[in-house]
A and B are shown apart, each in its own frame.
Chain A
Amino acid sequence: MTVQTRLILKAVSFLGLALSIVPAFLVFGGVVSKAVYLQVMILGMVMWFGTAIFWVKRDHTSG
Chain B
Amino acid sequence: MGAGQKSTLVERLDALYEYDREPVSEDKLHGWKTFIAMFSSEHIAGTEFVLGTLLVLHGVTAFDVFVGLALGNLLAVLSWAFMCAPVAVKERLTIYWQIRKIAGPYLTVVYSGLFALILCLLAGSMVAVSTTAIATTAGVANPNYAAGETIPSLPWIAIAVGVGAVIAVVAVLGFERLAHFAKVVAPWMPFVFLAGAVASLPALGVTGPGNFWTVANEKIWTGVPKEGQMPYGFWHCVGLAWLCNIAQHMGMGDMTIFRYAKKWQMGFCSAFGMFLGHYMAWICSGVMCAAFVHAQQAAGVADPNPTPGDIAMLGAGYAGIVCVVLAGWTTANPTLYRAGLAFQVATPNWRRWVVTLVAGVVMIFTACIPAVLAYLDRIVAYYGLFFMPLGAFIFIDFWLFPRLGLVRNYAERRRLTISWPAAVGWFGSFGICFMLYAKDQYAGWAWVNDRLPPFLARYKADLFLQVLPAWIIAVTLYTLCSIIQQRVATVPALEGDVA
Contact with A along B156-196 (1 / 0, CB 8 A): 00000000000000000000100111011001100110111
A53 adjacent to chain B (CB < 8 Å): yes
B188's nearest neighbour on chain A, judged by CB, is A48
Question: How many chain A residues touch B (Cβ–Cβ < 8 Å)?
Answer: 28
Contact among B191, B197, B256 with A20 in the assembled complex (CB-CB below 8 Å): B191
B260 proximity list for chain A (CB < 8 A): 61, 63
CB of B191 within 8 A of CB of A21, answer yes
Stretch at the interface among B225-233, B312-320, B406-414, B486-494: B312-320
Contact with B along A1-32 (1 / 0, CB 8 A): 00000000000000011001101110110100
Contact with A along B301-319 (1 / 0, CB 8 A): 0000000000000001111
B319 proximity list for chain A (CB < 8 A): 20, 38, 41-42, 44-45
Q: Which 9 A-B pairs have the closest CB atoms?
A: A38-B317, A24-B195, A41-B319, A24-B198, A20-B191, A24-B199, A27-B199, A21-B191, A45-B319
Contact among A21, A52, A61, A63 with B195 in the assembled complex (CB-CB below 8 Å): A21
CB of A56 within 8 A of CB of B183, answer yes
Contact among B176, B191, B206, B318 with A42 in the assembled complex (CB-CB below 8 Å): B318
Candidate in B176, B198, B256 with the most chain A CB atoms within 10 angstroms: B198
CA distance A59 to B234 in the complex (A): 39
Interface residues of chain B, those whose CB is within 8 Å of chain A, are: 24, 28, 30, 34, 176, 179-181, 183-184, 187-188, 191-192, 194-199, 201-202, 206, 256-257, 259-260, 316-320, 322
A18's nearest neighbour on chain B, judged by CB, is B191
Q: With A38-B318, A42-B318 in contact, is A53–B184 under 8 Å at CB?
A: yes
CB of A17 within 8 A of CB of B202, answer no
A49 proximity list for chain B (CB < 8 A): 184, 188
Q: Which residues between 31 and 50 of chain A lie within 8 Å of chain B, taking CB atoms?
A: 34, 37-39, 41-42, 44-45, 48-49
CB of B180 within 8 A of CB of A17, answer no
How many Cβ-Cβ contacts under 8 Å join chain A to chain B? 80
A21 proximity list for chain B (CB < 8 A): 191, 194-195
CA distance A49 to B317 in the complex (A): 17
Distance between A39 CB and nearest chain B CB, rounded to angstroms = 8
CA distance A30 to B201 in the complex (A): 11
CB of A28 within 8 A of CB of B199, answer yes
Distance between A57 CB and nearest chain B CB, rounded to angstroms = 8
Q: With A20-B319, A42-B318 in contact, is A34–B199 under 8 Å at CB?
A: yes
Some 15 contacts from A to B, beta carbons below 8 A apart, are A21-B191, A24-B197, A28-B198, A28-B201, A30-B202, A38-B316, A38-B319, A41-B320, A45-B188, A48-B188, A49-B184, A52-B188, A56-B184, A58-B180, A63-B257
B183 proximity list for chain A (CB < 8 A): 56-59
CA distance A56 to B254 in the complex (A): 24
Distance between A10 CB and nearest chain B CB, rounded to angstroms = 12
